[in-house]
């Protein structure tokens, strides 16, 4: 079964028709994330990891609770309806947080994400229809619509899991980089690190970003935590390095994320000079 589900999800990721769904979503909602404030808030940059996985617990939890109360009979009707409405309301910020992550995906992740969003949107429509049916006294129909919505949410949840755990959307792309325990030479002279110009250097088997900040040489993991973009090919803006792939900005002072889509700070290295050559080692957590 696992292989069949995996293949089905891969098949979804290869469907060009989903690009049209994605293009439509981008056209309607893409500009919302042009604002740094909205982008950071919706991605979860302030939280240190993506916000979407936290928020999904609200609609899923309330809708499952509502479904269970539906099974328990008419004494629980009011509570079931309240949970149902709470889930519908919470679906909006949950969807926005998911979209914030999705707008910076391409290819199969974008298509699987579009299918995930489509299934969840249909589920919300079914739940809204269920609310109307319940208010009109057609509880049987309402319960049936809610059951259908829960089925769609389960399918969408599978696709969401595939996006993270198989396709790597939303994970820290430096998570599997072993720390550089000992001082290691980059074989780069400090004088070669110019103000305003990021560069990539090699420290053993690790690529590091070298840049100047406040006149000092600073070093960070060379691969962006968001999706592994090469920060050495980025640009220096306002004391930050901007990733060339999706525009995340990391402070050169401490690696903190200044602009999403990244949510995890960039791993930092201690720097010392030995005979004018830059040496680095992984910084201990402060
Ligand atoms: S890889 Fe996406 S912002 Fe760097």
- ipTM of predicted complex: 0.99
51 Cβ contact partners less than 8 Å away, ≥ 6 residues apart: 41, 42, 43, 44, 97, 100
Domain 184-282 has CATH 2.102.10.10: yes
Q: What is the pLDDT of residue 285?
A: 64
Q: Which of 15-24, 76-85, 152-161 has the lowest mean pLDDT?
A: 15-24
Q: Which atom of ligand 1 is nearest to the CA of 248?
A: 3
What pairs with residue 196 in β-bridges?
none
Q: For residue range 145-201, what is the model confidence (pLDDT) as tens digits?
A: 999 999 999 999 999 999 999 999 999 999 999 889 999 999 999 999 999 999 999
Alpha carbon of 226 to ligand 1 centroid (Å): 5
Q: Ligand 1 pocket check: which of 36, 110, 262, 263 to mutate, most ligand atoms within 8 Å of Cβ?
A: 262
Q: In this structure, are residues 209 and 199 in contact, taking their beta carbons and an 8 Å threshold?
A: yes
Q: Find the angle CA(26)-CA(30)-CA(34) to the nearest 5 degrees.
A: 160
Task: Share the mean pLDDT of the chain.
Answer: 94
Instruction: Report how far residue 262's alpha carbon sits from residue 247's, in angstroms, rounded to the nearest whole number.
Output: 9
DSSP letter for each residue of 35-75:
SHHHHHHHHTTTTTS-SHHHHTHHHHHHHHHHHHHHHT-GG
Q: In this structure, are residues 209 and 198 in contact, taking their beta carbons and an 8 Å threshold?
A: yes
Q: In this structure, are residues 100 and 47 in contact, taking their beta carbons and an 8 Å threshold?
A: no
């Amino acid at each position: 079964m696992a292989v069949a589900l995996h293949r089905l999800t891969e098949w979804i990721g290869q469907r060009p028709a989903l690009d049209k769904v994605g293009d439509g979503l981008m056209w309607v909602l893409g500009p919302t994330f042009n604002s740094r404030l909205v982008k950071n808030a919706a991605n979860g940059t302030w939280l240190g990891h993506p916000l979407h996985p936290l928020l999904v617990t609200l609609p899923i939890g309330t809708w499952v609770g509502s479904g269970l109360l539906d099974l328990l009979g008419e004494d629980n009707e009011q509570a079931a309806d309240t949970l149902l409405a709470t889930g519908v309301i919470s679906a909006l910020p949950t969807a926005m947080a998911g979209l914030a992550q999705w707008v910076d995906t391409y290819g199969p992740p974008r298509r699987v994400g579009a299918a995930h969003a489509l299934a969840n949107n249909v589920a919300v429509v079914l739940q809204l229809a269920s609310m109307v049916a319940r208010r009109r006294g057609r509880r049987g129909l309402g319960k049936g619509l809610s059951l259908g919505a829960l089925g769609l949410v389960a399918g969408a949840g599978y696709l969401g899991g595939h996006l993270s755990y198989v396709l790597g959307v939303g994970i820290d792309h430096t998570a599997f980089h072993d720390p550089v325990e000992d001082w290691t030479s980059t074989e780069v002279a400090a004088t070669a690190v110019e103000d305003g110009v990021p560069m990539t250097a090699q420290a053993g088997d690790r690529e590091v970003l070298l840049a100047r900040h406040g006149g000092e040489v600073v070093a960070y993991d060379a691969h962006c935590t968001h999706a592994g973009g090469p920060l050495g090919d980025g640009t220096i803006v306002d004391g930050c390095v901007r990733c060339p792939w999706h525009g995340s900005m990391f402070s050169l002072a401490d690696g903190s994320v200044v602009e999403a889509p990244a949510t995890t700070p960039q791993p930092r290295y201690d720097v010392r000079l030995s005979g004018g050559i830059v040496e680095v080692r992984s910084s201990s957590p402060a």
